[in-house]
A and B are shown apart, each in its own frame.
Chain A
Amino acid sequence: VVMACRAMNKRKHVGLQQLSSFAEAGRTFLGPLKSSKFVIDEECHESVLISSAVRLLENLDLSSAVGQLLSEAVQAQNKMYRTGSSTLLFLAGAWSRAAEECLHLGVPVSLIVSVMSEGLISCIEEVSSLQVPVHRASDHTDDTQMFSGLGSRSVSLHSFLPIPPDTGLIQKENDLGDVASPSVTISSVPGRPVKSANLCRTQAKVEADENTQTPQTLRNRLCADTRCRKPALIHSRHFNRVDENQWTSKPDGFLEHQGAATPHTYRCKDLAELEAGLSHGDRSSMELVDAAARLQCQNADVQRGRCAAPWTFDISGVFTCCLPGLPETLSCVCPGYVTVVSTSRTALIEELQNQLLRVALIEGDLTENYRHLGFNRSANVTTVLESVKVHQASSEELWTDQVLQVLVKFNVNLVLVQGSVSEHVTEKCMHSKRLVIGSVNGSVMQAFALASGAQQVAYITQVTEACVGSGVCVAFWRSMPSGVNTVNSMAITLKTEGMNLVTVVLTGPVTAQMQTKEDRFWTCAYRLHYALKEQKVFLGGGAVEFLCLSHLQSLVRQPLNKGIQVCSGGLHNTSSWLASSLALYRPTVLKCLASGWHKYLSALMYNTARSASEFEASAFIQHHLQSATDSGSPSSYILNEYSKLNSGIFNSGISNKVEQIPRVYDVVTPKTEAWRRALDLVLLVLQTDSEIITGLGHTQLKPQEAEDFLFL
């Protein structure tokens, strides 16, 4: 075996260039308006519709080392937070270009590394001034009043015939709103605009809220705003204040509201406002998340009788079920477990649906040949028949009979199996009025185990009375089996009293979009989860990035004094000459780092179509940057001018009135982690000077490539 070693930095840094070109592909996924892409496999003519950085990288051939590191970083971010991947991808590209620029300017690699990481850490510290605490409101009456509109939905969800939440909500709102203009509806939730069903349908393609709608619908919304929404805003605590008052940033990091008789600390107490802010334009997904969170909270609070707004959201108790081919309006949230079974079982389910079922949970497969993990089969054992009198039934049939015996003995009429189920068993059980469902998710199994008192076992033979749970109900999803027929399957719901499991049913007419829908639901779900878990959010819509940009510019101007040089230089090796030449190169590197934020913001504005060109966007940012600097305190400037900045990025100055622009929020840790991961990746690649390829023979190399390699 031959080891080849390829030097990466001859004249240009190949790794950084690769990184920025990969990132370029994900540029359009930045921001709330994501344009979808088709990835086409030229060999087998398959194509995938994607609209996120994660799916993009999944579908690209990234066999190069840098590509793999990039994809690894994006996957890790996604696995952990389900959000921030596009940010990671974009910043990795922007900063790799920045690092390359520094190399061109002759900055030593070690200094780029230390100044850039120091710069980012300083930015992350700085943006804590834009954190908004999320706290539960102390006055509960306020809560119930706010969510009265949604209360009805929760009630309907409790029945076995859940009305799709959209219709439920709209019916309710139409009663409250202006009946004369059915195309415009208002929400009873203050400050939380809800689209009407009509608007929803006309632009089924673009799942956008009012901030990102096309000009025509914008006019509609404006009309709605002026006519209907203003009174509703009376309920909102902070929107009322904002008009007259000024925000300043307190040294403790949180925002303080000045000007009122007693200073209030700015808090986000309104769940609806939080959700709207975190939805980033994906209102329909966030509505499902909201319903799931409420349902979960209702399940938890069932003994207390009254459900307040949920202030925690446990995503492990949420499960999605995709039903492609159905109209989008049928998407809803159901208590319990929704799954798809074959229509051949219609009669069985009709029979079982008014009973409380006894359930057994099987961890493995329900097949004759299944053995638990770690069991090694001996290949050389054969069984011989000693007597011809033994009846000729196959071992499969014997085994099936055995399974059935167990089920009869313990009176089990529902079997949930984590693995696959033998056809034969399903068939036999159907005849004896027992329902067997395979491929059940592990967390669903656990939820059933907890709620029904069943114990999971590996083999059916292990089932004892103690392992059998009870009280499970089965029903058709949406009352009639025919109503949800796709080809040969139908959806059913399984639930039991006190089960902490919520299934989000996602429907859509276009099968290719299902993956995207599911991804977007989870993105919203994770955002809400982290926002409630961390009890704080960032003021979003580019505000944090803008502050980073402005902060880095102020760092550039700040002279380094000797004291800071050693402690904040970020250099591990303070005795090196690099420490003393830090002052010389620091402004250059910080400027390059800042240019990454600048590119991010202008790409964001360009993507949301709020500026005709990136140049225009850039000029807008530059203008505000100057004003922020002139104001003396960039973070206060951002708070005061938030609406204008926000409108520049999202709303293109449709209105200068603060109350008409809902705040956009971002989750804190997922966002800063995405930045860190992006920079870590860039710095890792920057510091790499050669690639060592193991196990590559001379013959596999093309002659022109071989020149670049050194062999050992």
Chain B
Amino acid sequence: MSRLEAKKPSLCKSEPLTSERVRDTLSVLKGIVTSCYGPSGRLKQLHNGLGGCVSTTSHSSALLANLSVTHPILKILTTSVQNHVSCFSDCGLFTAILCCNLIEKVQRTGLIPTTVIKLNKHLLSLCTSYLKTEACGCRIPVDFSSTQILLCLVRSILTSKPACMLTRKEIDHISTLILTAFLLTIPENAEDHIVLGKSIIVPLKGQRVIDSTVLPGILIEMSEVQLMKILPIKKSDSLKVALFCASLSGDLSDTGEGTVVIGYGVSLENAVLDQLLNLGRQLVSDHVDLVMCQKVIHPSLKQFLSMHRIIAIDRVGVALMEPLSTVTGTQPIGSLGSISPSSYGSVKDLCTAKFGFKHFFHLIPNETTVCSLLLCNRNDTAWDELKLTCETALHVLQLTIKEPLVLLGGGCTETHLAAYIRHKTFNEPESLPKDDGYTQTELQLITEAFCSALESIAGSLEHDGGEILTDMKYGHVWSVQADSPSVVNWPDFLSRCGCGLCNSQEELNWSFLRSTQHPFAPQTCLPHGAVGSANNLTLDCFTAKLSGLQVAVETANLILDLSYVIEDKN
């Protein structure tokens, strides 16, 4: 007998942003992301409180994946940041902080959402179009003939994650490795469009970071027993390869529901094994030298193959399948039936290698655009963080090759942009498109909110109680110890700006970032061509930051626009 239960009515809340609870949770979230930001950001210990593994991180993707948020507004925020991170890897914290800041600052103006949204969009397009123009004062074109800028970019990413626990020397070492790994993924014969290869990160925990290395080709971990069973490899130009994605373990394929009844004396296992051995015979007659399988190969089949001097490598894992198939030119074989000759591929050479306590097969393909980055770090949590950071760096390099530009880091881009927008709305209102949707006052109010949201990101880099200044020429960030006397000779206290491009010896005017800013037209700090000599710059990925800016403003607009939250309580 079924029982009917009356449905509960849906719960409808109006103006969710005005609720005290929403504001509180939003400020907790903002506190978490803000405190993680930058090279001196604070770390978070993530664990389940029941003895599960502990990860120490300040990485947005690790953080957001583990935050289980309940409120729909927070969910919108975290989801859009996660989406951004999954596409661009970098600038996740930037996006989250900017979004939180914007919501907070804009709400204080007390303007109606429609106006706010319209103005936000307007200011955003002002930013993006400025960033995309040649005249933009906070971007640097990347010169691929030298590694300097690229190394700075990678180094900036590595230093921004203190949980990797790297020393200066180790940062240099890893930066070089990442850049090498990236360069190895670029095909030598570039045609119309380049298809980049892949860098595979191979874990080697417990070793010293300095022991990390990059190898062209693919490393497949194996046990020592397997190593012993490998016969001396035939010397020839190349090895013929078959790659299986189907399991060759000899188990029955899914028999579905119900019972299979078999007669006495019939062994299904033997039947499957016979089929496997037939497959083996075909491989032998096709003169295959190397068989690789994503899953398990039946020991008897392995024995059979080894008797015929075929090397069998099993349990390769799903992650390696795609790169293996690419470098060997094989079609992964999915059935135990006959194999079409077109499925086979080849590799140049195969050897074995030992790193730390681990043994590896080292597959050297004919044309290498795949490489293995053997990554070491002392403890698990630092290794995990380092892996995430290296992945980010590799991705950022890929984005940079597509759009060969970098932005100034260390907060300088944010303050420079803020200065630019302020200048545009206050000093050159006539250059802006006229719209009757808002008044000049409203425009100025929102501009102030928008700019201070941007500027407080630069301020978020400071975690030890210092003060942030900005100069009135370039609009860069400068940091100074707290409670420094207000009337001082600033150059004595300051050394370099946040990105490292300007130094304090120049005649500049400074003001506290928290004080009221006077609009001025920010200039570009780059004496073009001299960039090459500056070797210790902090840089950010152009594409990722631009997207982060857009995502943050659009998400903030979406959240500001919410007037009802309707929850289905059933």
Contact = CB atoms under 8 A, between A and B. Distances in A.
A375 B224 CA distance: 21
Interface in B228-280: 228-229, 247, 249-252, 255, 257-264, 266, 268
A373 interface: yes
Contacts of B70: 1-2, 712
Interface stretch (A278-286, A451-459, A511-519): A451-459
Interface residues of A, number: 85
Nearest to A108: B464
Interface stretch (A149-157, A163-171, A577-585): A577-585
Given A696-B49, A712-B28, A578 B263 contact: no
Contacts of A204: none
A250 interface: no
Contact of B463 (A3, A109, A456, A574): A109
A73 B379 contact: yes
Contacts of B74: 712
Contacts of A711: 25, 28
Contact of A446 (B225, B257, B261, B465): B225
A450 B410 contact: no
Nearest to B315: A374
Nearest to B254: A378
B86 interface: no
Interface in B502-530: none
Contact of A378 (B42, B54, B68, B255): B255
A372 interface: yes
Interface string A678-712: 00110110011111111110000000000000111
Interface in B327-382: 378-382
B40 A63 contact: no
A260 interface: no
A376 B251 contact: yes
B264 A381 contact: no
Nearest to B302: A458
B68 A385 contact: no
Contacts of B42: 109, 687-690
Contacts of A432: none
Interface string A456-494: 111101100010000000000000000000000000000
A215 B296 CA distance: 63
Nearest to A62: B51
A577 B167 contact: no
Contact of B255 (A380, A572, A574, A580): A380
B212 interface: no
A681 B378 CA distance: 10
Contacts of A575: 410, 478-479, 495-500, 538
Nearest to A15: B45
B481 A577 contact: yes
A684 B166 CA distance: 11
Nearest to A568: B168
Contacts of B263: 383-384, 386
Contacts, number: 256
Contact of B225 (A63, A372, A442): A442
A347 interface: no
B219 to A, nearest CB: 20
Contact of B380 (A76, A111, A466, A676): A76
Interface string B52-70: 0110100000010011111
B546 interface: no
B68 A2 contact: yes
Contacts of A360: none
A572 B166 CA distance: 10
B298 interface: yes
A386 B266 CA distance: 11
Interface stretch (A49-57, A64-72, A241-249, A612-620): A64-72
B378 A673 contact: yes
A1 to B, nearest CB: 4
Nearest to B267: A383
Contact of B47 (A68, A387, A456, A680): A68
A443 B379 CA distance: 26
Given A109-B463, A574-B500, A710-B28, A692 B296 contact: no
Contacts of B53: 68
B544 interface: no
Contacts of A696: 48-49
A63 B47 CA distance: 10
B497 to A, nearest CB: 6
B107 interface: no
B387 interface: no
Contacts of A576: 40, 462, 466, 479
A110 interface: yes
A1 B410 contact: no
A335 to B, nearest CB: 21
Given A374-B247, A694-B68, A577 B379 contact: no
Contacts of B478: 575
A680 B379 contact: yes
A382 B260 CA distance: 6
Nearest to A373: B296
Given A117-B167, A381-B259, A575-B500, A688 B159 contact: no
B35 interface: yes
Interface of B: 25, 28-29, 32, 35, 38-40, 42-51, 53-54, 56, 63, 66-71, 74, 159, 162-163, 165, 167-169, 171, 205-208, 224-225, 228-229, 247, 249-252, 255, 257-264, 266, 268, 295-296, 298-300, 303, 307, 314-315, 378-382, 410, 462-467, 478-481, 493-500, 536, 538
Give the 5 A-B residue pairs with the shortest CB-CB distance, closest first.
Answer: A374-B296, A108-B464, A458-B299, A689-B42, A110-B40
